[in-house]
């Protein structure tokens, strides 16, 4: 065996994946609801500003909270998943997320005051944080190496599809009905997951070996025995994890890589860009209708995630991360230069935002081709993010985290990610009003350079590797190959 020899022979992977795909689809419906809820303010805020109810008119401060409180809820949901993932299981954790999600959408649909808007956003954020910590782990653990890259990108793909659905439906539906529609994928997810097995790896860690065998046979068919023994051996050699074990490189290195990637992912500014997509288009004074621009960007985002899914197991994770970081850097820098306003003229720079807060203009501006620059730049930002730093950070988190710490560590990653997103989303509009739109985009372009360096120095290439091989990489230092002395399962 050498570094190019897969742990599980390729011939054993030639099987029907229909049940595996069905289980993955059932789980990632939670991410569809997550994507829908994340960008909910983008279409809703303009409707609220044009509405006749003075109780729901939002100023700049309220808009910032309406956009950002979702991330605060997602951080709380991610931290709660730390306990749920390892205590009740991956699948039950996903199902439990339906409770705050359903209640949150109901509160939004019935909102009669601004605090109800905040509460609804916070509850849907909790649900999204729970699914963000549980779904990638579940999908990764039930997948085999040949399809794990494709399936690992599905959570991000369905989140993107959910956002696109929000942009599209926002063109024709009232904002209250948008909240009602958000309930649909949650209900379907719960119904389907009730018939799916839990993660075989989780079941082994709980000592439920016979149930794990049945689950693995359901996913793989009759040729599951060898993989079951490998998983069992991996669990047996790890034992229980305490603070002392976390000081070992086998544990802290993959955890630091995962936390670092999730932190840097949010530092690119993707959440405030998506949440305030229509306001950004108002600020850049694009002469096309902002709501149609947002739907167009959503379609580009979905296309790019589909491209990334097809390349994940061919080009590799690192190549896509490098490409993603470079595209985002160029487009962020373009937005910085386009939106730069000299300090002496800055007093006029917030006028489009103030006009948008008071209510979008009903007049149709004359088309100006130069305003296509921010639209194209934003599309490239979204395209680049969705090709690499969007889906791959979720996939790598579920791949590199050691099995014994996967539930808790994934919750920490999601908590760090969404706390970062909350801070950025909360201050984004205030920075724009105080200094201009170019300041945050300049900051995001610098972060993209840091991301490229981080990818080259810290991120391992996991393409085609089993989860046990990836664990061995961190256990031995730099080797994926598992020798006979380490692979022989215990009697």
In the chain, where are the structural domains located?
20-196+240-487
Closest CA to 146 of 220, 207, 72: 220
CATH H-level, domain 20-196+240-487: superfamily: MFS general substrate transporter like domains (1.20.1250.20)
Q: Cβ distance 137 to 86 under 8 Å?
A: no
Residue 477's pLDDT band, with cuts at 50, 70 and 90, is: low
Report pLDDT for 281: 76
**72-76, 160-164, 246-250, 354-358: the lowest-pLDDT one:** 354-358
| Inter-axis angle of helices 391-400 and 114-142, nearest 10 | 50
Q: Cβ distance 23 to 219 under 8 Å?
A: yes
Report pLDDT for 350: 47
Q: Cβ distance 154 to 136 under 8 Å?
A: no
Closest CA to 448 of 394, 400, 391, 388: 388
3-state secondary structure of 365: coil
Q: How deeply is 52 buried, as exposed, middle or buried, from its count of CB atoms within 10 A (0-12, 13-18, 19+)?
A: exposed
d(CA 342, CA 218) in angstroms, rounded, equals: 63
d(CA 251, CA 475) in angstroms, rounded, equals: 8
Q: What is the pTM of this model?
A: 0.71
> Which sign does the torsion angle of CA 387, 391, 393, 395 carry?
negative
d(CA 445, CA 268) in angstroms, rounded, equals: 7
* Mean of the per-residue pLDDT values of the chain: 78
Residue 137 has pLDDT above 50, yes or no: yes
Residue 239 has pLDDT above 60, yes or no: no
d(CA 32, CA 30) in angstroms, rounded, equals: 5
pLDDT digits (tens, 9 = 90+) for 107-123: 999 988 889 999 999 99
Residue 275 has pLDDT above 90, yes or no: no
Length of the chain: 491
**How many helices and strands in the chain, by DSSP H and E?**
25, 0
pLDDT digits (tens, 9 = 90+) for 367-426: 567 777 888 888 888 888 878 888 788 777 777 777 666 667 777 787 888 888 888 888
Residues contacting 195, CB < 8 A, separation 6+: none
Residue 130 has pLDDT above 50, yes or no: yes
Residue 354 has pLDDT above 70, yes or no: no
d(CA 359, CA 54) in angstroms, rounded, equals: 12
Q: Cβ distance 378 to 278 under 8 Å?
A: no
More confident residue, 240 or 145: 145
Encoding tokens for residue 344?
């002496």
Report pLDDT for 241: 58
The count of other CB atoms within 10 Å of the CB of residue 306 is: 16
Residue 349's pLDDT band, with cuts at 50, 70 and 90, is: very low
**59-68, 126-135, 245-254: the lowest-pLDDT one:** 245-254
DSSP symbols for 143-155 = --HHHHHHHHTHH
d(CA 483, CA 69) in angstroms, rounded, equals: 49
Q: Cβ distance 36 to 269 under 8 Å?
A: no
């Amino acid at each position: 065996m050498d570094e190019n020899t897969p742990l599980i022979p390729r011939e054993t992977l030639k099987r029907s994946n229909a049940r595996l795909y069905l289980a993955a689809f059932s789980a990632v419906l939670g991410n569809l609801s997550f994507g829908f809820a994340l960008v909910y303010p983008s279409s809703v805020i303009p409707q609220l500003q044009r509405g006749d109810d003075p109780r729901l008119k939002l100023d700049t401060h309220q808009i910032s909270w309406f956009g950002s409180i979702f991330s605060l809820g997602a951080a709380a949901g991610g931290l709660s998943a730390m306990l749920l993932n390892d205590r009740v299981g991956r699948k039950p954790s996903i199902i439990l997320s339906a409770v705050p999600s359903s209640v949150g959408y109901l509160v939004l649909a019935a909102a009669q005051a601004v605090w109800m808007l905040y509460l609804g956003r916070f509850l849907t954020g909790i649900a999204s944080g729970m699914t963000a910590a549980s779904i990638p782990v579940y999908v990764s653990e039930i997948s085999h190496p040949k399809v794990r890259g494709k399936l690992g990108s599905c959570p991000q793909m369905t989140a993107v599809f959910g956002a696109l659905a929000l942009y599209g439906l926002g063109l024709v539906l009232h904002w209250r009905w948008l909240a009602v529609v958000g309930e649909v994928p949650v209900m379907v997810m719960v119904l389907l997951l009730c018939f799916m097995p839990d993660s075989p790896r989780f079941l082994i860690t709980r000592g439920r070996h016979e149930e794990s065998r049945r689950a693995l046979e359901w996913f793989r068919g009759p040729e599951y025995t060898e993989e079951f023994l490998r998983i069992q051996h991996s669990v047996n050699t790890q034992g229980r994890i305490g603070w002392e074990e976390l000081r070992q490189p086998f544990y802290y290195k993959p955890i630091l890589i995962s936390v670092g990637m999730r932190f840097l992912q949010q530092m690119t500014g993707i959440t405030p860009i998506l949440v305030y997509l229509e306001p950004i288009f108002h600020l850049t004074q694009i002469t096309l209708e902002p709501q149609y621009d947002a739907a167009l960007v959503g379609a580009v985002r979905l296309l790019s995630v589909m491209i990334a899914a097809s390349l994940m197991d061919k080009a590799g994770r690192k190549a896509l991360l490098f490409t993603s970081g470079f595209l985002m850097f160029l487009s962020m820098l373009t937005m910085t230069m386009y939106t730069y306003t000299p300090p002496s003229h800055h007093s006029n720079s917030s006028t489009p935002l103030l006009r948008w807060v008071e209510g979008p203009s009903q007049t149709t501006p004359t088309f100006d081709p130069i305003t296509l620059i921010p639209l194209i730049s934003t599309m490239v930002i979204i395209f680049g993010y969705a090709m690499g730093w969007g889906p791959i950070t979720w996939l790598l988190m579920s791949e590199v985290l050691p099995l014994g710490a996967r539930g808790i560590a994934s919750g920490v990653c999601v908590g760090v990610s969404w706390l970062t997103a909350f801070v950025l989303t909360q201050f984004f509009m205030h920075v724009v009003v105080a200094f201009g739109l170019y300041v945050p985009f300049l900051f995001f372009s610098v972060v993209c350079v840091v991301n490229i360096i981080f990818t080259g120095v810290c991120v391992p290439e996991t393409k085609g590797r089993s989860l046990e091989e990836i664990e061995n990489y961190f256990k031995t230092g730099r080797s994926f190959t598992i020798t006979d002395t380490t692979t022989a399962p215990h009697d």
